[in-house]
Amino acid sequence: MSSTNRTLVKAAGFLMAAQLISRLLGFLRETLIAGFYGQGSTTDAYNAAFILPDLLYWLLVGGVLSAAFIPVFSEYIAKEKVDEGWKVVSSVVNLIFLTLGLLIFIGLLFTPQFLRLMVPGFEKIGNIHLTVNLTRILLIQPLFMAISGLIMGVLNSYKIFWPSALGTVLYNACIIFFGTILANPAKPESISGFAVGVVVGAVASFAVQIPSLRKVGVRYYPIIDWHNPGVRRIGALALPIIISYSLNQIQVVVNNNFGSTLPPGSITAVWYSYRLFQLPVGIFALAIAVATFPTMTEQAALKQWDKLRQTISGAIRMVVFITVPISVGMIVLRYPLIRVLFQHGQFSANDTFTTAIPLFYFAIGISSQSVIQILPRAFYALQDTWTPVILGIIAMVVNVIAMVLLIGPLAHGGLAFATSIAAVVNMVLLFYMLRRRLGQMDGWAMFWTSVKSLIASLFMAGVIWVWSEWLTPLIGIRTLGSLVVLITGTVIGALAFAGMAKILRMGEFEQAMGLVYRKIGTR
């Protein structure tokens, strides 16, 4: 393994561990909310309250950070033009801070009008006022998350990852703390404690990165230099992403419009299952993508095309190897998984059944969604932001059409299935266009990794199914029994997958085991 690959593996491993802790805290947070308030109009209001804050963040920061900020600043570092790079950083930070502050003020004024467009069914249910109040609390969050995200971009350009990873842990910890101490199941409005925790968590995520920022030699300039070539380049690169996120709100509108007209709790069921769907994506795929992105950017800047292709191929193969068995395992064990995480307090057995439906359809698209974390970043490293945007718009149209067609026969399950279908379409289109751009992409190696992972996963699924069908009648489906089925099924399934992967001589399995052995050997 080359030194670059070792560095990437170490960085990805650390990020995976931090993301695992953060996601576990995130599920503790969701479990507490489910226990306190069940799955109904109150939790629907809480989940819908994130629509406007998330929209503002992703429109102004998400695209700039992922597609433009890191590649441009990394290039300044690689070419040893650090002082000029900090002038670019300062201009972007100042511009986003002022623009976002103005939009948040406007959002606070027109929150009711916005939500009546997004979730029209809430008027009939009677939880529109709670949604408005929660949204206004949460609107403070994007400002701190924006600055935090830009600081993360600076540190990632220096290949420093741990402060932002720690920030995500603190973020969830704050939500849990404030949500728990302020919760009162008898008063639906007390769910605002979790919203307060979100704001405090955003501040903590920002503050924890400041010491590392000072160590890299932060240089702040109170300027907005429109004529700076770096600022112009970031603007040009970010523009298509901003357009893409704007158009993507069409599918958000369709999703929430449909969800708000379904029985109360449908939006929450989709949200909880979506959180489970995002778990492997956030822990493994996103960690690998974030760790490899600065390297891809550096290789593209130095025109090291062979190394760039190897980096992309290795990242995709590892993501597929990890996520295919997780996807299959989640389908087989979805009922005990939901019972353990959510079925307590006000969350009933019927709520478990309702949540298991979209989870099944979401799980189908886990691997595709995971690969999507890597492929657009390859284009961004090439400073091509338009191609992923155009392909994303195509996938968005597919998503909306699929939702319209599937909402009737599958209800809220159709919303989840549409997302998985769109993810598959987006992945295929991205890979095809990247192959045209870079030439041979080690496609056969990725294909055989996918085939072998699926074979091993299906074998694993059979083993888990037989085991759970034998064990469940003996110990029941209460929380403890479901926990035993979930843990033993996961362990037995992992062993079955590992055994089959070894039989199939998968290189990714050998690489993963080699890393484990080296870690053990260093202790």
Task: Please give, one letter per residue, the 3-state secondary structure of 25-47.
Answer: HHHHHHHHHHHHHCCCHHHHHHH
Q: Give the Cα separation of 109 and 295 in Å (integer).
A: 43
- For residue 439 the two structure tokens come to 């030439």
In a domain, 184, yes or no: yes
Which residues lie closer than 8 Å to 69 by C-beta, 6 or more apart? 92, 150, 153, 234, 238
Contact call for residues 14 and 162 (beta carbons, < 8 A): yes
Helix axes 412-438, 266-280, angle to 10 degrees: 30
In a domain, 173, yes or no: yes
In a domain, 429, yes or no: no
Q: Give the Cα separation of 185 and 346 in Å (integer).
A: 9
Alpha carbons within 13 A on the beta-carbon side of 268: 23
Q: Give the Cα separation of 488 and 155 in Å (integer).
A: 40
pTM value > 0.85? no
Number of C-beta neighbours around residue 247 at 10 A: 14
Tokens 């804050």: give the residue. 53
pLDDT of amino acid 523: 45
Q: Which of 183-187, 509-513, 519-523 has the lowest average pLDDT?
A: 519-523
What phi-psi label fits residue 383: left (phi over 0), alpha (psi between -120 and 50 degrees) or beta? left
Query: Bigger pLDDT: 467 or 283?
Result: 467
Number of C-beta neighbours around residue 285 at 10 A: 28
Query: What percent of the chain has a predicted confidence (pLDDT) above 90?
Result: 39
In a domain, 181, yes or no: yes
pLDDT surpasses 70 at 265: yes
In a domain, 477, yes or no: no
Contact call for residues 319 and 374 (beta carbons, < 8 A): yes
Number of C-beta neighbours around residue 392 at 10 A: 23
Which residues lie closer than 8 Å to 395 by C-beta, 6 or more apart? 422, 423, 425, 426, 429
Mean pLDDT of all residues in 210-235: 83
Number of H helices, E strands in the chain: 26, 0
pLDDT of amino acid 249: 64
- For residue 136 the two structure tokens come to 């206004």
In a domain, 339, yes or no: no
DSSP state of 262: S
Contact call for residues 382 and 437 (beta carbons, < 8 A): yes
pLDDT band at residue 69 using 50, 70 and 90 as cut-offs: confident
Q: Position 218: which residue type?
A: V
What phi-psi label fits residue 217: left (phi over 0), alpha (psi between -120 and 50 degrees) or beta? left
Which residues lie closer than 8 Å to 457 by C-beta, 6 or more apart? 324, 325, 327, 328, 329, 497
- For residue 380 the two structure tokens come to 């961004």
pLDDT of amino acid 248: 67
In a domain, 187, yes or no: yes
Quick one: which of 204, 202, 59, 184 has its CA closest to 137? 202
In a domain, 162, yes or no: yes
Residue 161 three-state SS: coil
pLDDT band at residue 247 using 50, 70 and 90 as cut-offs: low
Query: Bigger pLDDT: 78 or 273?
Result: 273
Mean pLDDT of all residues in 421-431: 95
The domain of 146 spans 10-37+41-251
pLDDT digits (tens, 9 = 90+) for 44-68: 999 889 988 988 887 777 655 555 7
pLDDT band at residue 519 using 50, 70 and 90 as cut-offs: very low
pLDDT surpasses 80 at 238: no
Q: Give the Cα separation of 53 and 115 in Å (integer).
A: 12
Q: Give the Cα separation of 133 and 42 in Å (integer).
A: 12
Quick one: which of 459, 422, 268, 454 has its CA closest to 357? 268
Which residues lie closer than 8 Å to 377 by C-beta, 6 or more apart? 66, 289, 292, 293, 296
Number of C-beta neighbours around residue 14 at 10 A: 15
pLDDT band at residue 2 using 50, 70 and 90 as cut-offs: low
Mean pLDDT of all residues in 274-291: 83
Alpha carbons within 13 A on the beta-carbon side of 250: 16
pLDDT surpasses 90 at 492: yes
- For residue 110 the two structure tokens come to 């027109």
Q: Position 503: which residue type?
A: I
Q: Count of domains in the chain?
A: 1
